[in-house]
Chain A
Amino acid sequence: MVFEFVSWILGKKDKPRSKDLAKERLKLVLTHDRVDISPQMFEKLRRDLASACAKYVEIDEAGMNVRFDSQDRTLALVASVPVIGAKRNPYSSKRRGNMG
């Protein structure tokens, strides 16, 4: 109680500053405005990315995080793909299996 009063007097707040929220929200929405990609296309991109990665390594698709990021008006596709285990030389092992 006393602590709260003192922080109130000092003007300290637990709440995040509204300008930080504004900046964060703006950055997110502008990145998507700039990319101009539909949610359907984005989902397709995410799935294709997952299947491309899954060819080489075993991934946790549910834990994937794909997003666009922008800095100085340049866009980047940022993907974080959790790897469960490496497939050792997937193609050659498959081929060997087929041939055998």
Chain B
Amino acid sequence: MNGKVMVVTSGKGGVGKTTAVANIGCALAVRGKKVALVDADIGLRNLDIVLGLENRIVFDIIHAMEGRCRLRQALIRDKRVQTLFLLPAAQSKDKDAIAPDQMKELTGELAGEFDYVILDCPAGIERGFKNAIAGANAAVIITTPEVSAVRDADRIVGLLEAEGIEQPKLVINRLRPDMVKRGDMLDIEDVIDILAIDLVGVVPDDETVITSTNRGEPAVLDGASRAGEAFRRIAARIEGEDVPFLSMEAPSFWGRIKRFLGAAR
């Protein structure tokens, strides 16, 4: 097997990289793909807790890299989706514990066994970023419709280009349709116009992302979650399907009631 090694990155912190990795990865696995999620944020391990796998960690990425365990032993199988695996970050080391070459070797090995290897990149553009993109052959850039996040995303596009990772795909996260309607938030066209890269998905600002993260369950597993639906569509597009974009209209009164009833089920 020669899987796709995809880095999820943003430059700016706090725009939803880890949540995106968990959800896109989980959605691809639900579709039957074999997926390995790699937490490349050494020292700030988070993907495990977002996925609800924090109590299952025995070995981590550094153990595997240093040969203290086999790569297979460090991979944790997801509780719910059989084809989803996590390679956790080390919590007690720092970013210098890994070199780009080692990362390339590791992702290459994983790509031999998985359809998708998805890397959760740390914020910033220093060592951790360079490690995370070293073995990647595709990239998803996450931004929110805010000036700071869009500016950082633009910087990332330039840096990825310089590293030979062409045509990154854009996810606009936490869009608020009500604010867009008022003209108080950059809309989808504005962000695409500015960054000039292909859009792969738009995720509405949605409370269910927080509640599902509280439970350690990706929102894509919640049929009533709007954000979950958006991430499922992103996964479908990554698989090459031509799926319409989720309607970003502010929910009507009846829409809200319907959604409430859906969530209560």
Contacts and interface: CB of A to CB of B under 8 A. Distances in A.
Interface in A22-52: 22-23, 25-27, 29-30, 33-34
A33 B151 contact: yes
Nearest to A11: B182
Contacts of A29: 151
Interface stretch (A12-20, A57-65, A86-94): A12-20
Contact of A26 (B150, B158, B183): B150
B185 A26 contact: no
Interface stretch (B48-56, B84-92, B186-194, B240-248): B186-194
A12 to B, nearest CB: 11
A96 interface: no
A34 B147 contact: no
A17 B151 contact: no
Contacts, number: 41
Contact of A19 (B151, B155, B183): B183
A17 B183 contact: yes
Nearest to B146: A22
Contact of B184 (A17, A26, A33): A17
Given A20-B183, A34-B158, A26 B196 contact: no
A26 B187 contact: no
A72 interface: yes
Given A19-B187, A25-B147, A33 B155 contact: yes
B110 to A, nearest CB: 31
**A interface SS class:** helix
Contacts of A18: 183-184
A19 B154 contact: no
A25 B187 CA distance: 15
A38 to B, nearest CB: 18
A73 B187 contact: no
Contacts of A19: 180, 183-187, 190
B190 A23 contact: yes
A71 to B, nearest CB: 8
A26 B190 CA distance: 10
Nearest to B189: A23
Given A30-B154, A34-B154, A23 B194 contact: yes
A19 B194 CA distance: 13
Given A19-B190, A23-B190, A72-B196, A30 B151 contact: yes
A23 B190 CA distance: 7
A27 to B, nearest CB: 6
A66 to B, nearest CB: 22
Interface of A: 17-20, 22-23, 25-27, 29-30, 33-34, 71-73
Given A30-B194, A33-B151, A34-B158, 16 more contacts: A17-B183, A18-B183, A19-B180, A19-B184, A19-B186, A19-B190, A22-B146, A22-B147, A22-B186, A22-B190, A23-B186, A25-B147, A26-B194, A30-B154, A33-B155, A73-B157
In order of increasing CB-CB distance, the 3 nearest A-B pairs are A17-B183, A72-B196, A73-B196
25 contacts: A17-B182, A17-B183, A18-B184, A19-B180, A19-B184, A19-B185, A19-B190, A22-B147, A22-B190, A23-B186, A23-B190, A25-B147, A26-B147, A26-B151, A26-B186, A26-B194, A27-B194, A30-B154, A30-B194, A33-B154, A33-B155, A34-B154, A34-B158, A71-B196, A73-B196
